[in-house]
Structure 1
Amino acid sequence: MEKRESWGSNLGFILSSIGGALGLGAIWKFPYTVGANGGAAFLIIFLIALFLIATPILILEYAIGRKTKLSYISALKELFPKKSYYMLGYVGLLVITIVLSFYLGVSGWSLAYLYKSLTSSYSNLSPQEITKSFSTFLNSPLELIFWQFIMTFVTCIIVIKGIRNGIEKICTILLPFLFIMIIGLAIKSSLLPGAEKGLEFYLKPDFSLINFNSIINAVGLAFFTLGVGSGNLVVYGSYLNKNKTITHGTIAVVFGDILAAILMGLIIFPSIFAYNIEPTAGPPLVFIALPIIFSKMDYGMIIGSIFYLLLFFACLTSTICILEAIVSYFVDELKWKRKTTVFFCSIVIFIIGVFQMLSFGPLSDFLIFDKTIFEFSDYLVTNILLPGSGLLMVLIFGWKTNTDDMIAEINDGSGIKINNYYKITIKYFSPIFLLLVYLQLLGLF
C-alpha cells in the first residue's frame, strides 16, 4: 500500500478545502437561490443554517478522515466492522461520480466563454444574439466535448501529482488570486449606475418575503455551499495531522466559503439590477445574462475574461476535490497505484460526461422519466441521493456511535475545542432539518 500523504501546512489544507467547496455552486447557485428567495432576509437564514446544521457535518467528515486516515468507504468499514454501514459510502461514491461527470462538462463552458471573451466574440452582439449564441453552443457536440476534455485533462494532471505537489500547490497559488478577482469585480459591479437597487435587495432584509419553503431552501443551500453530505471531504480530513484541532481549520474554511459566496452576490445583484435582468435567471445567468452585461460595459471583454478565468479556477478546485475523493477509494480499497487510478477514473468519468453534455443538444430527445440525461442525473443526485446519504450519515454518527469519542478526535491538537455544540447539532439540528429538506425535495412535504 502506498504511504499516505499529508498536507504540507494548515494553510494548504484550508485553501484546498475552500477550493473544494467553490465552483459553479458559489458562482451561480448561491446568488440565484438568494435572488429567488427574498434577498437579504434569506441570506440571514442561510447563514444560521450554515453554522447550526451544515458546519457540524463538515467537522464530522474531517474527523472521520483524520481518525481513520482513510477515504469514506474504508473509514466506515473500520469504524463499524460488524455493520453494513459502509454501503452508505458507495452511495456517496455514486453521487460524486455522477456529479463530476457533468461538472467537468459544465466547467468546460467557463473555458469556452473565457476564450469567447478573449476573442471579443460577443462584444458587438445584441442580447437576442447572445442568447442564440449560447443555444448554438449547446448544440455543437464537438465544441462541448472539446472543452470537457480540456477540463478533464487539467484536473487529471493536477490530481495525479498528489496532495502536496498537486492539489495543495495549485490551490495555494490560485485561491488568493481567485479572491482578488472576486473582490475587484465586486467593487466594479457595485459602482455601476443603478447598482444601488441591487445592493438594497441583497443587503436590506425584508422578512415578509420569507416563508417555510425559503427556510428549507436555505438549509439545502447551506449543505450545497459547503459540499457536505456525500462524504467526499472525508478524504481531505484523512490527510490532516493532529497539530491543530479540526474545528480550528474548519472555521477558516467556512468563513472562506461564506466570503466567496457573499462577494459573488455583490458581483451579481448590482449588475443584474443595473441592466434590468431578472435575479431568478438561474443557470443562464452566467452564460447569457453576464455576457450581455459585459458587452455593455466599458472594457467589458477584459472584465469578462477575468470573470470567466475566475469561474474556471473555482470549478477546477472543485473538480480536483471530487476526483481526489473517487481516486482515494480505489487506492484505499483495491490498492491500485495512484497514477493508474487517476487515468482510469478520468477516462470513465469523461465518457459518462459526454452523454451528459450531448443531452443538451443531439441527445435532448433521449428521455429518462421525461427528463434528459443531464436533468435526470441532476434530479437523482440533488433530490434523492445527496440529502438521503447526508441524513443517514448524521443519524449513524449522532445516534449509533459514542459522540464523546468523536469529540475527542475533533478536539485533539491546539486551537478551538467544541463539546455541546457538536452533540446538539449532530444529534438534533442537522438530522431534523435535513429530513425536512429531503421530504421537501421529494415533494412529500
Structure 2
Amino acid sequence: MSQVQWSSRLGHVLAAAGSAIGLGAIWKFPYVTATNGGGAFLMVFLLFSFTLGVAVQVGETLLGSHSQRGVLGAFHRLVGPRWRWMGYMGILCGFFIYCFYSVVGGWTVGYAALAVGGQLKSGDAAALTALFNGYVSDPLWPIVTHLVFAGLTWWFVQGGLEKGVERALRWMMPALFVMMLILVITGLSMPGSMAGVRQFLLPDFSHLTSKGVLDALGLAFFSLSIGLGIHTTYGAYLPNNEGVLRSGVWVVVLASFISVLAGLMIFPVLASTGIDPTAGPGLTFMTMPAVFQHLPFGQGLAVIFFLLLLVAALSSSISILEHLVRFTCEEWGWSRRSACVVVTLLIMACGVPVSLSFGPWSGYTLFGKTIFELLDYLTSNLMMPLFGLVLTLLLGWRLGDKFVPADLSGTMRTLLLWCWRLVAPLLISGILLRGLI
C-alpha cells in the first residue's frame, strides 16, 4: 500500500489519545475509583499510567515507526516471520473487541436519541433501570443502533488517514473536552458538590486493597488501548522515531486528564443528589438520567452527556477499524474503501449475536459466559495482557538498545530499556495471572 503519514505530530497524538479515551474512561473509571479509596486509587492509577502505560505505548509506536508497517508486518520485519502470530493475535483481538464495542457504542446512539426525544425525563431510578434492561434485551433496536454506530465509524475511516481519521479526531477531542467541561462546571455549582470532589480526590488508603492496586494496574493498561497493536498501526504513519517518547507522554497526559475530568463530572452531581457512586457500572445508563432531572436544563444536559459518550465511543472505534483496515490493505492488497466496507460488514454481522446475547440468546453460554462476556473475557484477561507481555520482552531483550529513539538522553534510554526488560513484564504478568485465576 502507498505510504501515507500524519499531517502533523498533533494529529498523531490526538488520534492515539482518541483510541485510549473510550467509554471506559467515562463510566468505568469513576465507579472503580469510588470503590477503591478515591484519591488513593487515583494516585496508584496515575503512577501505573505514567510508567507501564508510557513504556508500552511508546514500545508499540516504535514498532510501527521503525518498520513502517502495521502490526503483522512490523513483527515480521523486525523480529522475524516466526513472530507473525503476535500480529495475528493483535488483529484478532481488535476484531473481537470491535464486535462487542460496536454494540455498546450503539447503546450510546440509542440513548442520545432517547435524550433528544425527552424519553429520559423520569426521575425514578427503577423506571430507568427497566428502560435500560428492556432496551438492551430487545431483539431489534440494539441491533439497529449497533448498525448505525458501525456505519458512523465506517464513514470517518473510509475518508483516509488525513481527511478521515485525523480530521474527525481533530474536532472530536476538543468537542469531548468542551462537553465534559460544561458538565463539570454544572456539577460543581450544585449545593453539596464539594463532598463529591473530596471523595474523588482525597486519598483513603484504608479502602485501597491489593485487589484495588491490581484494578488500578489493569485499568491503566486497558484504558490506554495498549495490548493489541493499535499504536503500532498509528506509529507506521510517522515519518521517523524522533519525539515518540514525548508524544507517548502527551497521549497518557490527555487520556489521564479525561479520566480525571470524568471523575469531576460524576462525583459532584452524585454527592449533591445523594446517590452512591459505587452503585455500579450501570450508573451511566440507569442512574445519570435521573440525576439530570434534578438539574436546571436537565434534558439539555442529558443530551450533552450521551453525545459525549457517543463521541468517546467513536474515537476508540475509529482506531480499531483503522487497525483492521491497515492489516487488510497491507497484507492482502485491498483498496482502503474495499477494506472499510468488508470489515464493517463483518462487524455488523458478528455484532448481531453479541447484541442478542442480552436478550433472546442470553441462555446460550460457553464456559458459563454469554457471547458478550466471553469476548470481553478473552480480550481483556488473556489476549491483551499476553500481547503486552511478549511485546515488552521482545523490546527489552531481542530488539534491545538500538531500538530506543536516538533523541533520548542516556538516563532516559536506560530507564525505558529496563522498564521493557523487567518492570513492565512483571506488572503485566500480574494482570495476566489475575485474569486466569
TM-score, length of structure 2 as denominator length: 0.96
Contact 1:28 1:282 in 2 (8 A): no
- For residue 255 of structure 1, what is the aligned residue in structure 2? 253
Q: 1:45-86, CA deviations, whole angstroms, 9 ceiling, x for partnerless residues? A: 1111111111111001111111111111110000122x5222
Structure 2 counterpart of 1:405, from 378, 402, 405: 402
- Higher mean alpha-carbon deviation, 290-299 vs 275-284, is at 275-284
Q: Which residue of 2 aligns with 1:427?
A: 421
Structure 2 Cα separation of the partners of residues 226 and 257 of structure 1: 7
How far 1:30 sits from its partner (Å)? 1.3
Offset of residue 272 of structure 1: 2.1
Q: Distance in 2 between the 1:124 and 1:75 partners?
A: 52
2:121 maps to: 123
Counterpart of 2:282? 284
Using the TM superposition, give the Cα deviation of residue 370 of structure 1 relative to its aligned residue in structure 2, in angstroms: 1.3
Q: By how many angstroms is 1:283 displaced?
A: 2.9
Contact 2:135–2:141 (CA<8 Å) still a contact in 1? yes
* Shift in CA distance, 417/162, structure 1 to aligned 2, threshold 3 Å: farther
Query: CA offsets, 1:108-135, max 9 Å, x none?
Result: 1111111111111121352211111111
Compute the displacement of 1:244 (Å): 4.2
- 1:437 equivalent among 420, 425, 431: 431
The answer to whether the 8 A contact 1:190-1:271 is kept is: yes
Structure 1 position 369, deviation (Å): 1.2
Alignment of 1:112-191 (within 5 A): 112-191=110-189
How far apart in 2 are the matches of 1:125 and 1:276?
A: 13
Query: Does the Cα contact within 8 Å between 2:396 and 2:418 map onto a contact in 1?
Result: no
Corresponding residue number in structure 1 for 2:208: 210
- The alpha-carbon deviation at position 293 of structure 1 amounts to 0.7
Whether the aligned pair in 1 keeps the contact of 2:36 and 2:212 (CA below 8 Å) is yes
User: Residues 62 and 143 (structure 1 numbering): CA distance in 2 closer, same or farther, change over 3 Å?
Assistant: same
Q: Write out aligned runs for 1:379-418 (5 A).
A: 379-402=377-400, 404-408=401-405, 411=407, 418=412
SS at match of 2:4: coil
Kindly state the Cα deviation for residue 307 of structure 1 after the two structures are TM-superposed: 1.0
Q: CA contact under 8 A between 1:407 and 1:418: conserved in structure 2?
A: no
Determine if contact 1:50/1:223 at 8 Å carries over to the other structure: yes
Unmatched 5+ residue regions in structure 2?
none
Change (3 A) 1:233 1:227: same
1:21-420 pair list within 5 angstroms: 21-81=20-80, 83-242=81-240, 244-402=242-400, 404-408=401-405, 411=407, 418-420=412-414
Q: Verify the 8 A CA contact 1:248 1:416 in the aligned structure 2.
A: no
Determine the C-alpha separation between the residues in 2 that align with 1:408 and 1:226.
21
2:405 partner amino acid? A
**1:141 aligns to what SS in structure 2?**
coil
Is the 1:245–1:417 Cα contact (8 Å) retained in structure 2? no
- Give per-residue Cα distances to partners, 1:284-316, cap 9 Å, x unaligned: 111001111112222111001011111111111
Equivalent position SS for 1:3: coil
Residues 198, 416 of structure 1: alpha-carbon distance in 2 compared, 3 angstrom cutoff: farther
Letter aligned with residue 148 of structure 1: H
Q: CA deviation at 1:193?
A: 2.2
Any idea what SS the aligned residue of 1:313 has? helix
Separation of aligned partners in 1, 2:241 and 2:352: 43
Partners of 1:435 and 1:386 lie apart in 2 by 11
Aligned length: 437
Structure 1, gaps ≥5 residues long: none
CA distance 1:93–1:151, change in 2 (3 Å): same
The alpha-carbon distance between structure 1 residues 222 and 49, as it changes in their structure 2 partners (threshold 3 A), is: same
Say if 2:222 and 2:380, in contact at 8 Å, map to a contact too. Answer: no
Alignment partners' CA distance in 1, 2:137 and 2:215: 32
CA distance in 1, matches of 2:266, 2:122: 22
Cα distance in 2 for residues equivalent to 1:416 and 1:357: 51
Task: Indicate if the aligned counterparts of 2:363 and 2:370 stay in contact, CA closer than 8 A.
Answer: yes
Report the alpha carbon displacement of residue 243 of structure 1 after superposing the two structures with TM.
Answer: 8.1
- Superposed displacement of residue 416, structure 1: 12
Q: Is the 8 A contact 2:61 2:232 kept in 1?
A: yes
What is the TM-score when the length of structure 1 is the normalising length?
A: 0.95
Q: Describe the SS at the equivalent of 1:226.
A: coil
- Shift in alpha-carbon separation, 1:282–1:392, aligned structure 2, 3 A: farther
4+ runs deviating over 4 angstroms:
none
The farther-off stretch of 94-103 and 279-288 is: 279-288
- CA pair 243-330 structure 1, distance change in 2 beyond 3 A: closer
Offset of residue 426 of structure 1: 1.0
Percent of matched pairs sharing the same residue: 32
- Deviation for aligned residue 1:278: 2.9
CA distance in 1, matches of 2:242, 2:383: 33
Superposition deviation, residue 186 in structure 1: 1.1
For 2:122 and 2:317, the matched residues in 1 are separated by 33
Deviation, structure 1 residue 328? 0.9
Correspondence for 1:17? 16
1:54 alignment partner AA: G
Whether the aligned pair in 2 keeps the contact of 1:247 and 1:418 (CA below 8 Å) is: no
Write the distance in 2 (CA, Å) between the matches of 1:198 and 1:390: 35
